[in-house]
Each structure stands twice: as C-alpha cells, then as structure tokens.
Amino acid sequence: MNKSSKKFFSENPGWGDFLLLALFTVLMTFHPFYLFGEINFYELGLYLPGIDGILHGLIPHRDFFHLRGAFELYLPALAMQLFGDHVAVLETCFYVGNVLVMVLWLLVGQKIYSTRLIYYLMTLVLIARAFPRVTFTYWGGFRYVWGTAAVLFGVWFFKHARPVWLLLAGIFSVLGLFTSIEIGVCAIAAIVGGLAFSYFYKIQDRRQLRQGFLYYILGCLLVAVPFLTYMAAQQALVPLLDSVYTVVAKMQKVINVEYVDTIPGTPWEVLTILINPVHKNFKHLTPAYLYIFLFIYLFWRARKKQLNTTDACLVCLGLYGLIMYNAAFRLIWAAQFEMALQPEKILFFFLLERALVTMDAKKLYYFLKDKLNMKKDVAQFKIYVIRILTFALIASTVGYAVQRFNKRFFVYKWARNTVLGKERESLKPLYGQETQEVHLPRVKGMTVPLWQARDLELLAEFFDKNTQPGEPVFMYPEMGAYSFVIDRPGVGRFLMTTFAWFQEPWHEEFMQDLQKTAPRYAVLIKDLGPTFPKVYFKIPANKKKFDDVDQYLQAHYTIVAETPTMWIYGRK
C-alpha cells in the first residue's frame, strides 16, 4: 500500500464514504425478482389479517389479536392505502425496511470509526453476514428500523451533545416499543444505559446529560401519550395490556421452539458450548466473546481514566446488541440471530480498529527498540509480523464477504455470470419449476409455483361466487392470510387461530365466537406437515384445543370443494 492509499484509508470516514457505502449496500441487496417465489402465508398471516382489519376500520387488540404491537400494522396499511391492498405491497415494505436498517447501521459506524479501512471492511461483512437474505420479504423490516434509528440518534447525542437527538431517540424508541416490545426494550435500555454510563464517569457535562434525558422522556411521551389515550378511548387499552402480558409471559410455554434446535438453558450449558469449538451451536455463542472483550476494553479505559464520548456510544450500542442477542436464543437458527449480529459486527470491527491503531508500525517499532531495548532486527521482525497480520485481516475479510456474495446474493451472481459469459436464467427464483403470475385483486404482480397459483385462484373464485362481501369465513388453523386473499373477514379476534391457545380464556372466547358466528364455510389445510405437530402437539393442552375445533368442524361441516392443498367445508 503506497503512502497516498495508506493516508486515504487511515483518515476518518466522512459523508462521502457513507453515501458510497449506502449505494453499495442498496446495490448488493437489490433483487429484481423479489416477488418471484412461493409466498410464505404463515409469516405474512401474522400481518395480513390485521392490516385488513385496519383497512376496514377495526381496532387492534380490541377487535383482533396481533402478536406484536399495533404500529407494526399501521405502516403497511398506509402503504396499501397508497399503492393498493395486495400482498406485494407488504413484501415490499419488508424489503425496504430491511435494507434501510443496513443503511442506518452505516450511519452509526461512520460516527464511531476513525479509519476508512475498517469502515469499508465492516460494511462488506455486515452485508454478507447480517442481511436477512432469505426472509427479507416477509420478516423483520421496519420494527428493526425504529430500534436502529433510536440507537443512531443516541450515538449522535453522545458525539454532538444536542438534546434534539435524544428527543428523536425517544420518539423512535416508543415507535419500536409499540411495534415490537422486544425492540423497544432494547432501544430504551441502550439509551438509558449510555446516559447513565456517561453520567457516572463524567464523560459529558452532567447538566447537559440531565437535559438530554428530559428530552428523551419527552420524545417517548410524544408518541406514548396520544397512542395510549387513543387506545383507551377505543376501549382497547386493557386488551392491549392483556396481549402484551400474555405474549411475554406465556407464549414460550405454548410454542415448542426447541423442535429446530436445543437452546442452551443454563449457564453451565452456555459455558460448555463456549469452550467447545466443535459443538454445533458454538458459532452462535462466539458473539459472547465480543461482549466480554468489549467489557474488558471499557473497564481498562475506565481504570486509565481515558473514557470519552465514543465509549458512551459503545455502551449504547453494546446494550442494544447484547439484549437483542440474548433474545435471539429463543430460536438461534432463525432470522432473529442474523439481526442480532448487526450491532455485534459494528462493535467487532471497532475493537479491531483499536487494535490496529495501537499496533501502528512506526510507533510500535520505536517503542520496542527504545523503550524495551530490543535489538533492531528483532523489533523489525515483529513489525513485519504485524503487517502480515494486518494484510491477513484485510484479505480474509474481503475473501469472506466475496465468498458469501458469490453463494447467496443475487446481484453479485448475476454480475459474475454476465462478466464470465455464463447463462443467468438459473439464478432466478423458481428456475426449473412450473410457475404462474397471479392476477387476483389482492395477489397480483407475483410469480409463484403453479400449485400455489391454483390454490389462490380456486379459493378466490369459490368465495367470489358463493359468499357476499363482509361474510365471515373460518380459516383453520394458521391460515389467516387467506382471509385477506379472498377479502372476507375471519371469525372472532384470533384470525391465526393458534394464538387463542396462549390462554385458556382466549380459547373459550374463540370457541364461543365460532359457535355464535356459525360461518357457512370453513377452509382447512389438507396436510399439517411435520412441523406443526412438533411445534404444538408436544404440549397436551394444545392438542386438546386443536381437537375441540376439529370435532366441532366434523360435527357441523362437510367437504364441498377443494384446492391442491386445502379442503373447503360447507355447513351441514
């Protein structure tokens, strides 16, 4: 590396660097065929019935149950008001949200890194490792945007001491809280923890910190008070609180998440995996080493009385990432873990940068030779070793990113095949399968497997002919998304019916609604598949609730039509 290049990469990253890397991020995550593929109606079923309810004037939690916060539904509902009420709009919202999260992390990195080299290397790994490339059209999205934005504004406050940034951090913290309680808790803990750290160690003026904290509280109240007042006025506040308590305290007792993997359940199990590199879950615990090293780094700087505003940023970012990382252990092979790696990667490269700055070749040479009285050739040899390690870091980082881009990212593979003169058709989703573009009012512009297209068309055709708008249709068990597809309301508050299993009174309410409504038609999936019984039937109470509904349907309904994967029942 010549002197000019070394000077360039050793300088602080600026806004130009951010814009360049943001453009790179958008390009690398671009997927022109993101609406090609089998539609995941389970994941989208968490949102589509609620969005449909909002579009028809219903109130979340009072009129229908939603697994997370109501704000998770209002943004896509607004998007559907603007661009049309069909599934592709929701998938686009998730796509845009997941890319925006990555861009916001680049803004965080731009403030805490002191060298372009590390900023650029971090971006490569952040995209390659932590972008949810499989689930980006139906999972994550804007709930992570709110949390990341709160952390970003917290970092800007610690760097610039302007209280307005904490006002914005408060707004986005509560947006996150009412979108997903987990994200809100992470964001609030991060901001309050960073402020407390700075206050305790007198990193910033304490009067300024108190003022900033008041601004943060004000920002939280600006969102919380109007929303909670509205929910109370709509008689939805008590159902909201009941839903939050139930999801936090009881959901994990109803859903068996260990069907995918064995989750470390005790400190001893965690320690055993941490020291066992061949364990299948070892890679999931490696971020724990990062947080241990971060604690040691901050402790060392506190002992040396060298703490500054960057360290307050690290505490803010570290708390956000650590809590998110711990929460991801409910399902460590899922997308939650990838999202938890985003702040972890930023912190990892910060510690690498500190190590590289500390090992500056010229300074280290004179330190070894003059202070430690090493022979010139020995000191020079150690410098060579450090330079080799630095080169290895760069090469391995770039190589790792390129390897993942080459296997997993559409744009990179498309460009690679174009340059090499190879065919590109096989890169498209669903290549080699029979496909069809769907042209239904609520599912359009999407290319899906032929069997799924037939499912959707036959279902929509049947209910267009045999029901009136507004007539309830019962979808069972986890088929709430299809209520949106056929534009007919479901039965009761629990449109994803397994959510009624979270509480015994909820199941009783659900059964009463089903018997009272007595819909003319019900739709059941033909094959539950291997996953559903593993997730739910391991718990006997769930099987009993399932059988309650099944027995009611068998007693009062008979099959009148079918699609490739569903039975349509009519009331006897």
SS (H, E, C) 286-301: HHHHHHHHHHHHHHHH
Distances (CA, A) of 42 to 33, 36, 38, 233: 21, 17, 11, 32
Mean pLDDT estimate for the chain: 90
Contact 182, 244 (CB under 8 A): no
**pTM of the shown model:** 0.92
* pLDDT, tens digit (0-9, with 9 covering 90-100), for 106-162: 999 999 999 999 999 999 999 999 999 889 999 999 999 999 999 999 999 999 999
The pLDDT assigned to 386 comes to: 65
What is the pLDDT, as a whole number, of residue 358?
72
pLDDT at 382: 58
- Distance CA(97)–CA(136), nearest Å, equals 9
Confidence (pLDDT) at 393 = 73
More confident residue, 5 or 559: 559
| Stronger pLDDT, 543 or 256, i.e. the higher one | 543
Specify the pLDDT at position 487.
96
Q: How far apart are CA 409 and CA 510, in angstroms?
A: 44
- The reported pLDDT for the residue numbered 462 is 97
Per-residue tokens: 283: 């890679």
Q: CA 236 to CA 33: how far, in whole Å?
A: 40
pLDDT higher than 80, residue 302:
yes
Phi then psi dihedrals of residue 353, to 5 deg: -65, -40
- Pairwise CA distance, residues 65 & 72, whole Å: 13
Confidence of residue 1 (pLDDT cuts 50, 70, 90): low
Statement: residue 368 has pLDDT above 90: no
In terms of pLDDT, which residue wins out, 15 or 281?
A: 15
- pLDDT the model gives residue 86: 96
pLDDT higher than threshold 60 for residue 185: yes
Q: Find the range with the poorest average confidence among 136-150, 417-431, 530-544.
A: 530-544
Cβ contacts of 565 within 8 Å, gap of 6 or more: 451, 455, 525, 526, 527
Q: Using alpha carbons, list the distances in angstroms from residue 172 to 185, 216, 347.
A: 12, 10, 22
Give 241-298 pLDDT, tens digit per residue.
Answer: 999 999 988 887 887 665 555 566 666 666 776 677 777 666 777 888 899 999 999 9
Confidence of residue 564 (pLDDT cuts 50, 70, 90): very high
What is the per-residue pLDDT for 340? 87
pLDDT (tens digit per residue) in 78-119: 999 999 999 999 999 999 999 999 999 999 999 999 999 999
- pLDDT greater than 80 at residue 163: yes
pLDDT above 80: residue 366: no
Residue 362 binned pLDDT confidence (cut-offs 50, 70, 90): low
Q: Which two tokens stand for residue 478?
A: 């986890």
